[in-house]
Structure 1
Amino acid sequence: MTFENILIEKNNQIAIISINRPTKLNALNKPTIEELHQGFEQLEADKEIRAIIITGSGEKAFVAGADIKEFSSFNQSEGAHLAAKGQELLFDYVQNLSKPVIAAINGFALGGGLELAMASHFRIASANAKMGLPEVTLGLIPGYGGTQRLPQLIGKGRAMELIMTADMINAEQALSFGLVNHVVEQSELLDFAKKTAEKIAKNSPTAISKAIKAINANFKDGINGFHEEIKNFGECFETEDFVEGTTAFLEKRKPDFKGE
């Protein structure tokens, strides 16, 4: 499939999705959200791919927000539909993907951009990155999960402050808050993300998928995360990866996981 707004590169079991609207600072519009959904869907089905990196084209922005022109004339029901559809197609979809998604934040990650990074399983930022949720300056609130995921990652008080002030924070502040896992120079960002993804790719894909389910369960209403962990732990024993992993350990060799 040919995309207009994203690029996908595959190499050594790793896929890189680049949002490719540099003249718009990679802002998210409806076609881009749809293409991202399709791209992630393809990679989810690709048995060769074991980890995904999401980043922005150019050196200025990961995603500098949503395309405001698209919704500036919306009414209440249209606005609610926009948020619901976006969460379904992209943000919730990414969070619940069975393959790990690493956000490589290479510049501005604002509004929907930060929400996309937060929906990813973890984040690595370049030293020049700036992050924030400026929606209240438009008379809005974050609508793609920002009011939920930001408190989960950095705590309620800090999230309240960042959302209400609309302040941007730099990469080092994001690191100290626990919003990102690592900060590296921009020239090193993709290499660092790839090395991290390669470490993940060496491990059991089936176990990683079940770990994602168990970890996510802790943040879902009405779900007992401990029970979900027990269930997924038990299911691991029925996989070929479990047999290979334990056999390799006993034979003192590196495992060759097939993701089955």
Structure 2
Amino acid sequence: MTSTGLERAAAVLAETSAHAEKRIADLPGPASRTPEQKAAAAAAHEEARALRAAFMDEHADEVYDALTGGRTRHPRLAELVEAAADSFPGLCPTPAQMADERSRPQAAQEGREIDQGIFLRAVLRSPVAGPHLLDAMLRPTSRALSLLPGFARSGVVEMEAVRLERRDGVARLTMCRDDRLNAEDERQVDDMETAVDLALLDPSVRVGLLRGGEMSHPRYRGRRVFSAGIDLKKISSGDISLVGFLLRRELGYIHKIVRGVLDDRPGAGRWRSRTTEKPWVAAVDSFAIGGGMQLLLVFDHVIAAADSYLSLPAAAEGIVPGMANLRLSRCAGPRPARQIVLGGRRIRATEPAAALLVDEVVEPDGMDAAVERAVAALDGDAVLANRRMLNLAEEPVDAFRAYAAEFALQQALRIHGDDVIDKVGRFAGGSA
């Protein structure tokens, strides 16, 4: 740090945060606190968080430059929050603090991800730091780059949550959590980002396709299912994180489906576009719930089986449904968007409102043929340029960044809200 003002502010932040931590450490753990002790912990957190927010409001760009070598390095979200904790004590929770949090169920955590949300909101708000971080998240993951030569040769990658196969110029991503109805967790996010990266980086791929595989779950055995959304049991157990799931999912593979992968490896033609993009088709069998429905909002063509349905149970779960609040009004209009997000309205594929969300509805036994027609229709010379221009018009990058900034904090507050902890605990205790 070279700025005297930044140094002074950082010293005050470190001292205030240390004092707040001492007050919290003198109390029992969150699950054992009396109402008075909960109030004391909340007051300590509030004091430190107000100062963190003010510190980042004033110094976001200086902090980000210090963490990224003047924006010459491109740390992803997880690396960035760890670097912030190391370089600016008290700004973000340390790796040790986060490891302690992750070892506990959600109801027994301090909610330290809220502090990460304060930091990341300020970074993403900045017109200097925010675009740089978005670019970092559009870069291919190291895992994908290591798998790319093998995928180029074989055309197949088998992962725990996703199977990727290249056939006839189509990257066919199959979500294969067959025992849990393709419920999403951090493993699924990692596998999905790897698969999307590979599909985008492989020059033999012209179109991407996402579909759910056949289930072994007793209620849907032998049937294809698209997605049951976020794994509520993993939220309750503390295994769904803000950085590793909720933000990585939105700023990583889903944003890459929209914008493409930022591939700065040596090669010709980079002056044409900073990213490598492909058109995408989604095929919905049985249902697309929660995060599954959110995914459909970024695809170029969506096919739904006539016996399927879509829903966003955000109100029931108590969390923010990803970027759906940004995208759903554009697709369906403001009134249906509020009915779906706030009221939990379920849309069946055969009702008229489904036409606002899917491109075609076919009988279940016609899905395979419809999929092949759709990927062939998107395999055209003008498709890439036109989808790029449509995406720029429909979702300007600065609008996406502004939404992502507020989402970083609001979702952190939501997942640690008492009502959410109570709800997911009850849902997790029920049958899947």
TM-score, structure 2 as length reference: 0.47
Going from structure 1 to structure 2, the CA distance change for 1:34 and 1:104 (only over 3 Å counts) comes to same
The reply to whether residue 64 of structure 1 matches residue 228 of structure 2 is: yes
Q: 1:19 touches 1:57 (CA, 8 Å); kept in 2?
A: yes
Going from structure 1 to structure 2, the CA distance change for 1:221 and 1:42 (only over 3 Å counts) comes to closer
Give the counterpart of 1:44 among 196, 200, 203: 200
Distance in 2 separating the partners of 1:175 and 1:9: 33
Match of 1:26 in 2: 182
Q: Counterpart of 2:160 in structure 1: which amino acid?
A: E
Give the counterpart of 1:111 among 272, 278, 290: 290
Match of 2:254 in 1: 91
% identical equivalent positions: 22
In the TM superposition, what is the alpha-carbon distance from 1:80 to its structure 2 partner?
7.0
Going from structure 1 to structure 2, the CA distance change for 1:34 and 1:81 (only over 3 Å counts) comes to closer
Distance in 2 separating the partners of 1:151 and 1:192: 27
Q: 2:174 touches 2:210 (CA, 8 Å); kept in 1?
A: yes
Match of 1:134 in 2: 313
The reply to whether residue 170 of structure 1 matches residue 348 of structure 2 is: yes
Give the counterpart of 1:216 among 388, 391, 404: 391
For 1:34-74, what per-residue CA distance to the aligned partner results, in whole angstroms no more than 9, with x for missing partners?
A: 11111111111111211111010122520011111222365
Q: 1:104 touches 1:190 (CA, 8 Å); kept in 2?
A: no
Secondary structure (helix, strand or coil) at the match of 2:172 reads strand
Note the 1:185-224 alignment, pairs <5 A: 185-201=363-379, 203-204=380-381, 207-221=382-396
How many residue pairs match? The answer is 219
Match of 1:160 in 2: 338
Identify unmatched segments of 5+ residues in structure 1: 224-260
For 1:159-204, what per-residue CA distance to the aligned partner results, in whole angstroms no more than 9, with x for missing partners?
A: 0011111121110226644100000011211221112211322x21
* Structure (1 or 2) with the greater helix fraction: 2
Going from structure 1 to structure 2, the CA distance change for 1:83 and 1:174 (only over 3 Å counts) comes to farther
Note the 1:237-256 alignment, pairs <5 A: none
The reply to whether residue 148 of structure 1 matches residue 326 of structure 2 is: yes
Distance in 2 separating the partners of 1:184 and 1:92: 28
Going from structure 1 to structure 2, the CA distance change for 1:119 and 1:220 (only over 3 Å counts) comes to closer
TM-score, structure 1 as length reference: 0.77
Q: 1:175 touches 1:183 (CA, 8 Å); kept in 2?
A: no
Identify unmatched segments of 5+ residues in structure 2: 1-156, 215-222, 261-276, 399-432
Going from structure 1 to structure 2, the CA distance change for 1:178 and 1:141 (only over 3 Å counts) comes to same
Going from structure 1 to structure 2, the CA distance change for 1:214 and 1:49 (only over 3 Å counts) comes to same
Q: Counterpart of 1:128 in structure 2: which amino acid?
A: D
Distance in 1 separating the partners of 2:161 and 2:246: 20
Give the counterpart of 2:361 among 183, 205, 223: 183
Going from structure 1 to structure 2, the CA distance change for 1:103 and 1:222 (only over 3 Å counts) comes to closer
Secondary structure (helix, strand or coil) at the match of 1:4 reads coil
Going from structure 1 to structure 2, the CA distance change for 1:117 and 1:92 (only over 3 Å counts) comes to same
Going from structure 1 to structure 2, the CA distance change for 1:63 and 1:140 (only over 3 Å counts) comes to same
Distance in 1 separating the partners of 2:295 and 2:185: 13
Q: 2:284 touches 2:305 (CA, 8 Å); kept in 1?
A: yes
Secondary structure (helix, strand or coil) at the match of 2:226 reads strand
Q: Counterpart of 1:72 in structure 2: which amino acid?
A: S
The reply to whether residue 121 of structure 1 matches residue 121 of structure 2 is: no
Q: Counterpart of 2:184 in structure 1: which amino acid?
A: L
Distance in 1 separating the partners of 2:253 and 2:288: 16
Note the 1:5-20 alignment, pairs <5 A: 5-20=161-176
For 1:67-118, what per-residue CA distance to the aligned partner results, in whole angstroms no more than 9, with x for missing partners?
A: 112223659xx54774222101222121223111111011110000111122
Distance in 2 separating the partners of 1:213 and 1:103: 18
* Structure (1 or 2) with the greater strand fraction: 1
- Which moves more between the two structures, 174-183 or 6-15? 174-183
Q: Counterpart of 2:248 in structure 1: which amino acid?
A: K
Secondary structure (helix, strand or coil) at the match of 2:160 reads coil
Going from structure 1 to structure 2, the CA distance change for 1:80 and 1:134 (only over 3 Å counts) comes to farther
The reply to whether residue 100 of structure 1 matches residue 263 of structure 2 is: no
Q: Counterpart of 1:27 in structure 2: which amino acid?
A: A
In the TM superposition, what is the alpha-carbon distance from 1:221 to its structure 2 partner?
4.1
